[in-house]
A and B are shown apart, each in its own frame.
Chain A
Amino acid sequence: MTSHARQDKPLFEPAIVRRAVLDAFRKLSPLHQLRNPVMFTVWICSAFATGLWIQALTGRGEGRPGFILAISLWLWFTLLFANFAEAMAEGRGKAQADSLRRSRRDVKARRLLGSDRKGPHETIDAPVLRINDLVLVEAGETIPGDGEVVEGVASVNESAITGESAPVIRESGGDRSAVTGGTLVLSDWLVIRISSNPGESFLDRMIAMVEGAKRQKTPNEIALDILLAGLTIIFLLATATLLPYSAFSAKAAGQGHPVTLTVLVSLLVCLIPTTIGGLLSAIGIAGMDRMIQANVIATSGRAVEAAGDVDVLLLDKTGTITLGNRQAVAFLAADGVDLKRLADAAQLSSLADETPEGRSIVVLAKEQHGLRERGLHALDAHFVPFTAQTRMSGVNLGTRQIRKGAASSIEAYVQSHGGTFPEDLRRTVDQISMAGGTPLVVAEGPHALGVIQLKDIVKGGIKERFAELRGMGIKTVMITGDNPLTAAAIAAEAGVDDFLAQATPEAKLKLIREYQAGGRLVAMTGDGTNDAPALAQADVAVAMNSGTQAAKEAGNMVDLDSNPTKLIEIVEIGKQMLMTRGSLTTFSIANDVAKYFAILPAAFVATYPALGALNIMRLHSPESAILSAVIFNALIIVALIPLALRGVTYRPVGAAQLLQRNLLLYGAGGLVVPFIGIKAIDWLLVALRLAA
């Protein structure tokens, strides 16, 4: 049921890469860099190094112009690579935004001047429609804006929004009344009351979101920014003070010279956390993008991040944990009643019953007892529909009166016909209830014949998903309107941690508040208007795209596939985003150790020759050592772009194991990799005769 068409997009699509390369240069503007203290520092350093190069060209510089040029070029590359990462992350969203924009271009709307669809109307451009305008849309036309169906039924193709090509039914009233601008009416007609002003529609929001135009930093991103800024200041101090230190040392040692500004600038850029600083925004954008790939539109990055923190998942039973409908699984006859007679009566009573439960009874009778479906007209039967008063349905065949319904209703019915309700049947009814099933009792006149056992069918594989969630430290709570007995049985079968039975909207809201008061973050899905209060209260609220406008407004995410198990995927994406940030921060800091070993001996060996012992990588010369470190620092950003865009792999294991794994990969890896990388670059520089 899920359309995964967009998930298979390759990471580096040529069109996106081309655009990203251009954007990388555009983003060199210092105004753009100001947002990110780490990269702004790199910008200043690059400009400064370029100035040093120009100075060197005039012959009054502090070193070989060629070396200073190489350093300043690679510093600019560091910036460009970081920009490229961000542009790549944005590129995928932009491509999608373009296609969304196309879908609403040149749409005309027929605005009704009265409330009668056959009355007069005018044709206007869709973008000028305002709230509460009524428009008529007929087959083959595009719906001009978000709204609510007030009249009519039609099939609508929503693939422009959802990517799902199968049409959906939209009709007035109920939970299927919301329509989205840009979607196509395939058959019949609809009268729609527009529910958004120009520029505020779902499509507008979606475009803004996928483009990252309104992207605001998320709370954890801000906190990380502060830490990175703190580290940048520390390293700025550590390198800036090195100038007087080295001057003092050179004087004291009577040899060597103060460290050059080129070396200091290189050291600073190598030490400040450019790897995470350069990829930070790309990680955030890519997180949103992964949500979009999963066909979920989040209204803010904050919501995506919060998803990673979720402790409690509230899941509706129907449609999420169980297949939509209950099915008949067995006939249980009362003592002294032939099983076939029961099956026959059950089937007869359900022939005209078009509910899925009714259909499943007919099918079960056919499968177990070979009873063919019969036409009601042929039997001259009269169908008695279910009403809230009788709480039974059935059929009258001449004098035969067959009824099926809840045990209490049938008991009353049987007694009113002078019969008695058998004890053994009562026991069977209780047993079925206890096991989580729903008993339907069948009676013919004064005789109670037996019970049809209806059962919720728990979705395949769901139990494993819940076990996974438990491994992640997330508690699952099943929400159901069933009575507590039934709910407990299904909860046990599905493997959820807890359940809320006989749930009302108020009870849901109360439950969410209780969890939140205990310091937990709650996620839930919903589609109906009565879910809206709970959705508004939940920390992560995923509204189904098929749901009502009210639900979509209340939630902070919309699932275009309307797939309630998507929550699990959403949580994983949220966690991945945080993990990627944390892992790359660790990697970035750990890298500094090797860079010190490359740059410090190179910078000071003239003053204290003994410091040459620290050149454990045996780099060719001071210049090649410094250049290699700077080049490594720039290239590592490029090398990590795929990781930033795809995210660190999440495994549903406990926090301790995750930490151990990521520490080993990115902490220990971050210590070792630059030693190898810098040595390799140095070796290459020598081999290509680029090193002095």
Chain B
Amino acid sequence: MSHAWTQNLLYLTLLLGLAYPLGAYMAGVLEGGRTFLHPILRPLERGLYRLMGIREEDEMGWKAYAWSITLIKLLGLVAMFLLMKTQAALPLNPEHQGNVATGLSFNTAVSFITNTNWQAYSGETTLSYLTQMLGLTVQNFLSAATGIAVLAALIRGITRRSATGLGNAWVDLVRGTLYILLPLSFVFALFLVSQGVIQNLSAYLHTAGGQVLAMGPAASQVAIKMLGTNGGGFFGANAAHPFENSSPLSNFVQMLSILLIPAALCVTFGRMVQDRRQGWALLAAMTVLFVAALAVCTQAEVKGNPALDSLGVTQVAGIDKPGGNMEGKELRFGPGGSALWATATTAASSGSVNAMHDSFTPLGGLVPLWLMQLGEVVFGGVGSGLYGMLMFALVAVFIGGLMVGRTPEYLGKKVEAFEMKMASLAILLPCAAVLIGTAISVLVPAAAASVGNPGPHGFSQILYAWSSASNNNGSAFAGLNANTPFYNDGLAIAMLLGRFGVIWPVLALAGSLAKKKHTPEGLGTLPTHTPLFVGVLIGVVVLVGALTFIPALALGPVAEHLSLRSLR
């Protein structure tokens, strides 16, 4: 077994191993229980509530919850936009970065409040340290906390009986940030600094050779960027930049941090619904899909470009060369470390990159593209991945439930017309945004001209951009010049739709589930913790995802791959 496969195995083992304790801890936090951090953080939490005038025990209905989440996001949007528009006049700007253009500011603000972190700019040439810290980093925390809060509300909808309240959005946001994201980021940032990731507020370094080395408070932002599945790099090259991702160890741990919270939330789910097997089942479905995608991507990248074989170029790994497809990859990470990162970052809605996905082999690039198109539910974003997966689970339960001759139920709640409407909406909206956005892009000459390569690869670049934005991933296929008015505005709309077009149906669904009575489980009930159900769930995710995008993929990476193969 080569290095790449060993690393993959170690990765999965550690990921699942760490998910368990973290998941248990998070369940405690979201249920308002006492955790080992209480002595330090509880007084702080109380102080915050007093300051903001929040009464902890106030319950919100689904609409109030959704409005709270939406309003604080809009507030963040406005604040970040203004920050970028005025950064030249504000402190902590040693490089005298100018104010950011309006279109780019809007795009970037939307991108960060929606946990997408699509970057049509390079951090080191565009943003001041203040904008990075006060704008980007703050939204990194808040958007991840939002995911956790919405998930918590959905879980309460499932567990509560004949109730209207889904919890308190403010309390969930504060707890998620204070007890989960902050402590993890704090420890993680220290680790990154120990590995050489920079953390300073100095002016850029000018070397004797005439090079300019960008500086800045990178480690603190990278920590939450990774843990919160945000993915917006401090530097333009993201995690391929040595100051942002300095060593193979930092690379490995950063990869782990992408999927850590999403995986652990499955465990949290199982605990909160008081049936741990339910959480394991969802985790199993995600893991199976992830492993399959990882295998394809790793195999494609380690094997390299099939067209080169016929030219007599050897792509086999050796003592002096990493082998495989090395175009657009860091020598430090090689094809294996890049393929694993690419799979993890698109399975989750992270979007951070340590290699250029544009330079992947067609099949290797197909995997990230497809994982995003599945709706970011294979682990997915913090919170959002699991609530997205639960939408698919409801569809699976619905079809499976009918197949056993009973009105479908999930965890004792009947799945009826309203639930199907909301689940369909949550699944449909991002898909629609991808398809329609891509269609408009290839129709508008100015947009179509942004592609960097001709043929199917150019098509993949456009499809990738819309898949990434609509599903709040944020990674780019590069090659596409996206800093144009068309893409800045269009992708911003797609990002908003991909975030709030899912959050609102999910919360509406949570509200509807909370009102329902609980139906006790019986022999006639479809069990949702068995391998069989995991299979059905995977089938639904794959079929819906695949059937929607197969034609588009056929014209992009599939055509490219088959053409390359026929060159041999």
A684 to B555, CA, bound (A): 30
Among A233, A575, A614, which residue has its beta carbon within 8 angstroms of that of B406?
A575
Answer yes or no: B563 CB below 8 A from chain A CBs.
yes
Query: In this assembly, does A202 line the interface, its C-beta being within 8 Å of a C-beta of chain B?
Result: no
Contact A604 B520 (CB under 8 A): no
Chain B contact residues, majority secondary structure: helix
Q: Which of B92-100, B430-438, B493-501 contacts A (4 or more CB under 8 A)?
A: B430-438
In the complex the two chains form, is B547's CB within 8 Å of A519's CB? Answer: no
0/1 per residue, A557-596, Cβ < 8 Å to B? Answer: 0000000000000000011111101110110011011001
Closest to B540 in A: A589
Within 8 A of A (CB), among B535-568: 535-536, 539, 543-544, 546-552, 554-555, 558-559, 562-563, 565-566
B395 contacts A by Cβ under 8 Å = yes
Contact A655 B566, CB 8 Å, known A223-B420, A518-B520, A600-B551: no
Question: Cβ of A655 and Cβ of B404 under 8 Å apart?
Answer: yes
8 residue pairs of the A-B complex, CB under 8 angstroms, read A220-B416, A227-B399, A230-B425, A234-B544, A244-B442, A249-B456, A582-B401, A596-B551
Assuming A655-B406, A662-B403, is B417 touching A226 (CB within 8 A)?
A: yes
| Whole-angstrom CA separation of A293 from B555 in the bound complex | 53
For the complex, is B448 an interface residue (Cβ under 8 Å from A)? yes
Beta-carbon contact of B398 and A223 below 8 Å: yes
- CB-nearest residue of chain A relative to B563? A610
Q: Is the CB of A222 within 8 A of B520?
A: no
> Nearest residue in A to B553 (C-beta to C-beta)?
A600
Q: Report A467 CB to chain B, min CB distance, Å.
A: 12
Determine if B532 and A230 form an interchain contact, defined as CB atoms under 8 angstroms apart: no
Contact A659 B431 (CB under 8 A): no
- Which secondary structure dominates chain A's binding surface? helix
Report yes or no: A578 in contact with B407, Cβ–Cβ below 8 A. Answer: yes
Give min CB distance, B494 to chain A, whole Å: 14
Q: Is B308 interfacial (CB-CB < 8 Å)? A: no
Chain B, residues 410-443, CB within 8 Å of chain A (1/0): the string is: 0010011101110011011001100110110011
A234 to B424, CA, bound (A): 10
CB distance from B373 to the nearest CB of A (A): 11
Smallest distance from the beta carbon of B498 to chain A beta carbons, Å? 15
Asked if A472 and B524 sit within 8 Å, CB to CB, the answer is yes
**In the bound complex, how far is the Cα of B558 from the Cα of A596, in angstroms?**
13
When distances are taken between beta carbons in the complex, the residues of chain A under 8 Å from B547 are 234-235, 238, 271, 589, 592-593, 596
A659 lies within 8 A of B532 (CB): yes
CA distance A231 to B547 in the complex (A): 10
Per-position binary interface string of chain B over residues 172-185, scored 1 when its CB falls under 8 Å from any chain A CB and 0 otherwise: 00000000000000
A575 touches B456 (CB 8 A): no
A58 within 8 A of B: no
CB distance from A539 to the nearest CB of B (A): 11
Q: Mark A234-256, 1 if CB is under 8 A from B, else 0.
A: 11011111101111110011000
Say whether B402 contacts A585, CB under 8 Å.
yes
Q: Nearest 8 pairs between A and B by C-beta? A: A582-B402, A473-B524, A575-B405, A473-B523, A230-B424, A610-B562, A582-B403, A248-B442
Residue B157 is within 8 A (CB to CB) of chain A in the complex: no
- CB within 8 A of B525: which of A227, A586, A655, A666? A655
A308 at the interface (CB under 8 A from B): yes
Q: How many residues of B contact A (CB 8 A)?
A: 69
Q: Which of A240, A519, A577, A659 is in CB contact (< 8 Å) with B400? A: A659
User: Residue of A at shortest CB range from B517?
Assistant: A519
Which among B427, B428, B454, B566 is the interface contact of A252 at CB below 8 angstroms?
A: B454
Q: 1/0 per residue B493-519: CB within 8 Å of A?
A: 000000000000000000000000111
Tell me whether B53 is interfacial, beta carbon within 8 Å: no
B459 at the interface (CB under 8 A from A): yes
Residue numbers in B under 8 Å from A613 (CB-CB)? 562, 565-566
User: Smallest Cβ distance from B450 to chain A, in angstroms?
Assistant: 12
Distance in Å: Cβ of B442 to nearest Cβ of chain A = 4
Interface residues of A in 452-493 (CB under 8 A from B): 470-475
- Which of B519, B552, B559 lies in contact with A610, CB distance below 8 A? B559
Give the shortest distance, in Å, between A379 (CB) and chain B (any CB): 60
- A223's partner among B416, B520, B527 (CB-CB below 8 A) is B416
What B residues does A688 contact at CB under 8 A? none
B562 touches A245 (CB 8 A): no
Indicate if B455 sits at the interface (CB-CB under 8 A).
Answer: yes
A355 at the interface (CB under 8 A from B): no
- In whole Å, how far is A611's beta carbon from the nearest beta carbon of chain B? 6
Does B458 sit within 8 A of A, measured CB to CB?
Answer: yes
Contact of B523 with A472 in the complex, beta carbons under 8 Å? yes
Mark contacts of B24-56 with chain A using CB atoms, 8 A cut-off: 1 yes-contact digit, 0 otherwise.
000000000000000000000000000000000
Contacts of A242 in B (CB 8 A): 551-552
Cβ contact of A222, chosen from B417, B459, B524, B549, cutoff 8 A:
B417
Residues of A within 8 A of B403 (CB): 579, 582-583, 586, 658-659, 662-663, 666
Does B530 interact with chain A (Cβ within 8 Å)?
Answer: yes
Contact at A611–B558, with CB atoms within 8 Å? yes
Residue B526 at the chain A interface, CB threshold 8 Å:
yes
B60 CB to nearest chain A CB (Å):
25
A472-B523, A576-B405, A600-B550 known; A245 vs B459 contact (CB < 8 Å): yes
Closest partner residue, chain A, to B161 (CB atom):
A519
Are B524 and A220 touching (Cβ within 8 A)? Answer: no
**In the assembled complex, which residues on chain B have CB atoms less than 8 Å from the CB atom of A356?**
none
**Is A144 an interface residue when CB atoms closer than 8 A count as contact?**
no
User: Are A658 and B442 touching (Cβ within 8 A)?
Assistant: no
Contact flag A471-B523 (CB < 8 Å), given A604-B554, A655-B406: yes
What is the bound-complex CA distance between A242 and B415, given in angstroms?
34
With CB as the reference atom, state the residue of chain B lying closest to A239. B551
Interface residue A173 (Cβ < 8 Å from any Cβ of B):
no
CA distance A70 to B155 in the complex (A): 52
B404 contacts A658, C-beta separation under 8 Å: yes
Q: Complex formed: what's the CA distance from A305 to B414 in Å?
A: 14
A331–B98 CA distance with the chains assembled, in angstroms: 110
**CB-based contact B519/A520 at 8 Å:** yes
Contacts of B562 in A (CB 8 A): 608, 610-611, 613-614
Answer whether A227 and B455 are a contact pair too, CB < 8 Å, given A472-B524, A519-B412. Answer: no
Decide if B539 touches A234 in the complex (CB within 8 Å).
no
**Of B399, B527, B535, B551, which contacts A245 at CB under 8 A?**
B551
